[in-house]
Each structure stands twice: as C-alpha cells, then as structure tokens.
Structure 1
C-alpha cells in the first residue's frame, strides 16, 4: 500500500514511520519534540490522550495540544499522530484550530462497535488513521473477518496507514504479562499475531509490531525484532527514546537480501535463478523483494561486522 504524506512530494511506505515514540499529550516539551529541536532522530511520534493520560488529566491534555498546535513546524519532516481516547475526544480534536498540522490519528480499542463513530467524523478530511487491534474481539476470527470486510471498503481503505497490534492490552485480556527474557512470540500472542498476519496481509494492510516492555534487555529485543520481520510486521513502537536506535538499526537489510531483491525486481531477470546459494523465483519472491527495497531505502544496508564484534560474539 503506497500513501502520500501531505508534506512530501513523493509516495512513501509505512516503513518511513520507523519506530514511533508514544508520549503523553500533556508533556511540556511537546513543541520541541514535534519540531525536532529535541529528539531530532525521531521519524514519527504519537501524542497519547488514552492510556498514558489519566481521566483527571484529559481536559488539560487537550488544552495543551490546542496551545501547541500553532507552533508545530509544517516542514519539520517528521510524522505526527495523536492517539485519541474515544470518538468523543476525536470530535474535540478535529474542532481544534491548526489540527491539520497533525498527520493522523491512532484509534484505540478498535472494533466494529466504534467503526462508524470514528469514520463518520473523518469524512471529508485528509487524515490517515492507524486502528489498534487490542480487545478481546481480536481472539475471535469471525469478528476479525467482519472488521476486515469493512476496512477494505473503497472509501475506507486508502485512509488506513497501518493496523497496530496492541500486544500489552491483548495480554491484559488474557491476564498475562510477558516474562523477562522471552519474546512476544514465546507467549500465546505469537499465535494471535500469526493469525492477524494471515487475515490482513493478503489484503494489503500493513501491521505494526507490539512494544517491547523492558529497557535493559537489548538481546531479547533484537530476537523479537527478527521475529517481527519474519512475520512481515512493519515498524515497532518505542516506549523510550533509547529503544529507537536499536529498533531502526535492526531494520537495515542484509546485503545479500538487498542484492537478491534488486535482481528479483529487474525487468530482465529470468523467471528462476540462483543467487547467494538461494533459489530466487520472480513469481513467488518479487513481493518480498519490494519490501526489502522499501526497508533499504529507509534504513540502508547492514555494515559487515568487524573482527572485534565477531570476537565479542564468540565470548558471549
């Protein structure tokens, strides 16, 4: 799915969002972050009016957003979204002056029940949305099929930037929390993520990867990102700025994969060929190759490890 960002002259893929950073909408430094004066490495950010904000702070958060919007720089080259609390809060946000400086909205706890309440308000606007799948309906395959049928409608689908998988909320529905040292795929969520990929990816929806809770376990974070990529997930939301370099470094592509992707998308490529001791078949591998090229355009090609790095791996 290729979309056009309002501040760019060229189409972009969801890979360009990188590792979006969630932050409460009442942060005092919101303008500095939005404009790149603070955390300049951020590709995208999500100002939260939902789980990161208490009931008592919601009005203050909305007033703070209203005060900040006029100072957002339209040419900062960063993607800005607001996670709304519910359809009523979306209505209040849409009424704010300068709300067009926001690229779109994250729609939490997204189900058929709130579908019309959200999308009826967005008609006639240019905002992109990222519905979040994070309620018990996600465990009901028929409910997800019905939701997909509504999301693929011609007047809805172009608005969907990606579907977000709310891993922590879904674990909460099960009364669980991911243990330290285990990836999300080592829990019951591994099966759920696989099912969501099967249900939505063939219909050209991008899906994002759940957050990783622990800030001091980069080994498990890296293992999880490898599995995110193996499942075709696009982007992993960061819960702290320190996670972003690790996430985005892992999105750089292997040189061999990059070279195979280039060959698979070459108009003169034979139908089947051998490269890097792998079978490459244009008919079955070209879509994978396009995804690799999208990633490479955003994150580059991985640098070969140095001798010192290989020695460190041997010691560990």
Structure 2
C-alpha cells in the first residue's frame, strides 16, 4: 500500500514509501493517516478485493458505539466472515499482503474483547493489524493490555493496540492529571504494542452538552480543547515516543469533482488561515481542522466518509521546504544554521525531534514542492464513494 497514489509522479519531490501491516512499527505508526470508522455489521471486503476503495488503507470495524447492543452478535459474525474471506483471498493469491488495509477492531468492552479473542484463529489474526480500546481508563487498561500481549504470543504475529482516551476522568479537570499520569505509567510497560493513542473529541463534547458546527473546529470548544491539550502534554512529549491521532471529523458531505477543478490556483495555506471558501462547508471545515491538528502535533485523523480520506492524507504530506530543513537538522551535529531557503533559523538540538517527525511523515506521505501540490493530491484519482454509515 502507498498513501497519496497519483498517476503523475511529478506531483512529488519525493514519493511516499509503501507499507503493509508487517512493516516496522516505528514506521507503521505514522502510516495510519485517515482512518475510516464503520459499523462491524458492514460488508466491505469484496470492495477491498475489487480495489473499489483505493483510499481505504486504514480502517476500524466497530463493535461499540457504531452499532446497537442487540446487533453485537451479528457484528461479530460479520467480522469473522469478512476477515475469513480476506484471508482466503490472500491464501489463494487473489490478493497480496500489500493490498490488505490496516484493519482494526474496536471492541465494546474488556469482557467482549476476551470473548471475541476466543473466536480468533491464526488465519484471522494474521489479517488483522490490531484492536481499538474505547473508554480506556487506568482501572481497565491492564485487562486490555495483558490480553493484547497474550494474543501476540499466542499467534506469533504483530497485533497492536490503540487506546482511546475519551472518558470522564480525562474530560473533567479535577481528575484529569491523575488519570493521565496513571495511564502513562501503565502504557510504558506495553509501549511495543501501542501503535497510536487516539482521542475522543465527540465523547468529550458530550460531557459538556456541546458539538462543533460544520464551520468550526474541535479546538473552538474550550473544555474539549483543554482536554486535548493535556493529552498531548503527556503523550506528545518527544521522550515518551507516542503518536497521537486527531479526533474524528463527524460530517459526511464530500466533494463534487467540478469543485476540485476550480481550486487549483488557490493559496491553500492562506485560504485556511483567512477562512476563505475552498470547496464546501464540510471539506473546508475538515481541512482547517487538519491544519490545526498538524500544528499541535496530531498525526492522522478518524473519518466516517471514504471520500474524506484523500484530503486527510494529502494534508499529511510534507513540503519540500520542511523536508530540506529536517534533513539539514538531522545531518548537523549541533549549533545554529540558516535554513536552506535562508528564511528561518534552524537550531539543531531544539528542532531535532521535529525533524525526526517530518522525516517519518515524508516517508509515509511523500514530499511535495508546496501547498499547491497538495491541492493536486486532493483530486488525483479520487471518485465518489459510499459513506461508512450508509
């Protein structure tokens, strides 16, 4: 698999690298990009095999909030059937491992995780990339993580965990620091199994009875912004070495192809800063929020519409100026030097962790000359697709 596939290779100054679920974890954790959430009752693997969803490189099949409690049995049966079908396609050579998306299962609870794990076979485990743990608290973390470690040993294949920090103990200020401190201490012992830390912007909003509008961002909701800032303060520290993914964008509206032809001359960076209309309310809101996600240190984003994946992944691409600054910093032992474009100071030691991040993002999403080339990525090979909730 490869992010930001294009028919015109000249879009890139440096093309993204390919990856699959067996790639080295240090690289793979940057590769999730836009992650599509869908109910576990959906049947999509035939579209994956037919390559009808080329932008779906990372997906979560949800046993929790996306389905009703009474549909859990049907969801589990469907997931087992879907994974089995995909495993058979790989076994027979109809599909290669490089064509299998990163597939995660969002479990409903620790109890459901344990019961579902008993239904896993080596063939099914070998198709999975891992599990998503909702409502991840310090008092249930070990139940999730111990079983995850056990499954890695049992099946001898990499199965990763992605905890979602979204509970009341984190949302509310009086308990937040103690809970985040406890979680960080627990997760350190399982660091090798954690691919991403995820955050629950929708759950945080619900605790305060608010919801961001289509033209605003999650960062406009002050109590949610505070919770997200503190999560980054704990898990975004360079020395802790975690990748934190941005909150879900919860609107469906996608694009019309004619719209994309009209925006190729837009100064994207300026448009995002000045709230200039770009495509439509939902895409413009998504792009502005992704720009804020990146500025604050989030990598990738959860979406619920396949057509949004291209926008998220294009926005993860690195500009040539960023890439050359990062290379300069990583190739210099210390001190202060003028940037390659002579427009900023590169202070080697303080900027080194940023440079490592930019280098990893360049590997995963590619290097483009400037923001205008990101606009070219928006339209490259994208066709309208069905919503994950449809």
Q: What does residue 102 of structure 2 align with?
A: 79
Q: Is the 8 A contact 2:63 2:107 kept in 1?
A: yes
Note the 1:60-79 alignment, pairs <5 A.
60-73=74-87, 75=97, 76-79=99-102
5+ unaligned residues in a row in structure 1: which ranges? 310-316
Note the 1:194-213 alignment, pairs <5 A.
194-202=229-237, 203-213=240-250
Of residues 124, 132, 146 in structure 2, which corresponds to 1:99? 124
Where 2:139 maps in the other structure, the secondary structure is helix
Cα distance in 2 for residues equivalent to 1:50 and 1:10: 26
| CA 1:303–1:256: 2 relative to 1, 3 Å | closer
5+ unaligned residues in a row in structure 2: which ranges? 1-18, 91-96, 153-158, 254-281, 376-390
Q: Is the 8 A contact 2:39 2:62 kept in 1?
A: yes
Where 2:140 maps in the other structure, the secondary structure is helix
> How far off its partner does 1:180 sit?
2.7
TM-score between both structures, scaled by the size of structure 1: 0.88
RMSD: 2.2
| CA 1:35–1:145: 2 relative to 1, 3 Å | farther
- Deviation string 1:94-122 (CA, Å, 9 cap, x unpaired) is 12223312111000010012123212322
> How far off its partner does 1:263 sit?
0.8
Q: What does residue 138 of structure 1 align with?
A: 170
Cα distance in 2 for residues equivalent to 1:254 and 1:8: 24
| CA 1:8–1:33: 2 relative to 1, 3 Å | farther
Q: Is the 8 A contact 1:14 1:234 kept in 2?
A: no
Q: Is the 8 A contact 2:319 2:371 kept in 1?
A: no
Structure number with the bigger relative contact order (C-alpha 8 A, sep ≥ 6) is 2
After the TM superposition, which parts of structure 1 deviate over 6 Å for at least 4 consecutive aligned residues? none
> How far off its partner does 1:206 sit?
1.3
TM-score between both structures, scaled by the size of structure 2: 0.72
Question: Aligned pair 1:40/2:54, yes or no?
Answer: yes
> How far off its partner does 1:304 sit?
4.2
> How far off its partner does 1:69 sit?
2.1
Q: Is the 8 A contact 1:20 1:236 kept in 2?
A: yes
Question: Aligned pair 1:226/2:277, yes or no?
Answer: no
Cα distance in 2 for residues equivalent to 1:13 and 1:64: 27
Number of equivalent positions: 301
Q: Is the 8 A contact 1:135 1:173 kept in 2?
A: no
Of residues 168, 171, 196 in structure 2, which corresponds to 1:162? 196
